Structure 1
Amino acid sequence: MEYVGRVPAPPLDRFIDDIYCLTGEPSHRRMNVPPMPSAHLFVNLGGPARLWDSDPSVPPAVFTDGWFMGVWTRRFLVEYPTRVRLVGVHFKPWGISPFVDLPATELRDRWVPVDAVWQRSLDRIRNQVGDIASATETLRVLEDELRSRLAEAPSRGLDLVLHTGGLVETFHGAVPVGALADAAGVSGNHLATQFKSHVGVTPKRVARIYRFARLILSVDALRPVDWSELAHPAGYFDQAHLSREFKDFTGHTPTEYLALRRRFPGEQGFPPDRGPMPAE
Structure 2
Amino acid sequence: MEYVGQVPAPPLDRFIDDMYCLTGVPRYRRMNVPPMPSAHLFVNLGEPVRVWDSDPSVPPALFTDGWFMGVWTRRFLFEYPTRVRLVGVHFKPWGMSPFVDMPATELRDRWVPVDAVWQRSLDRIRNQVGDITSATETLRVLEEELRSRLAEAFSGGLGLVQHTGGRLAASHGAVSVGALADAAGVSGTHLATQFKSHVGVTPKRVARIYRFARLILSVDALRPVDWSQLAQTAGYFDQAHFGREFKDFTGHTPTEYLALRRRFPAERGFPPDSGPMPLV
Match of 2:237 in 1: 237
Contact 2:70-2:108 at 8 Å conserved across structures? yes
Match of 1:29 in 2: 29
Distance (Å, rounded) in 2 between the aligned partners of 1:238 and 1:260? 25
Match of 1:107 in 2: 107
Aligned residues: CA RMSD: 0.7
Match of 2:162 in 1: 162
Distance (Å, rounded) in 1 between the aligned partners of 2:269 and 2:38? 20
CA deviation after TM superposition for structure 1 residue 242, in Å:
1.8
SS of the residue corresponding to residue 126 of structure 2 reads helix
Q: Tell me the TM-score normalised to structure 2 length.
A: 0.99
CA deviation after TM superposition for structure 1 residue 131, in Å:
2.1
Q: Tell me the TM-score normalised to structure 1 length.
A: 0.99
Match of 1:226 in 2: 226
Unaligned residue ranges in structure 1 (runs of 5+): none
User: Which is further off, 126-135 or 54-63?
Assistant: 126-135
Match of 1:75 in 2: 75
Distance (Å, rounded) in 2 between the aligned partners of 1:228 and 1:132? 48
Contact 1:228-1:238 at 8 Å conserved across structures? no
Distance (Å, rounded) in 2 between the aligned partners of 1:258 and 1:155? 43
CA deviation after TM superposition for structure 1 residue 248, in Å:
1.0
What is the correspondence of 1:124-139 to structure 2 with a 5 Å cutoff?
124-139=124-139
Q: Percent identity?
A: 88
CA deviation after TM superposition for structure 1 residue 166, in Å:
0.1
Query: How many pairs align?
Result: 280
CA deviation after TM superposition for structure 1 residue 231, in Å:
1.3
Match of 1:2 in 2: 2
Contact 2:132-2:138 at 8 Å conserved across structures? no
CA deviation after TM superposition for structure 1 residue 175, in Å:
1.2
Q: Partner amino acid for 2:186?
A: V
| C-alpha distance after superposition, 1:43-100 (max 9, x if no partner) | 0000000011011110100000000000000001010000000111000000000000
CA deviation after TM superposition for structure 1 residue 155, in Å:
2.2
Match of 1:216 in 2: 216
Q: Partner amino acid for 2:185?
A: G
User: Which is further off, 150-159 or 39-48?
Assistant: 150-159
Contact 2:22-2:87 at 8 Å conserved across structures? yes
Unaligned residue ranges in structure 2 (runs of 5+): none
Match of 1:152 in 2: 152
SS of the residue corresponding to residue 88 of structure 2 reads strand
SS of the residue corresponding to residue 232 of structure 1 reads helix
| C-alpha distance after superposition, 1:145-172 (max 9, x if no partner) | 0000000011240000000000000000
Match of 1:203 in 2: 203
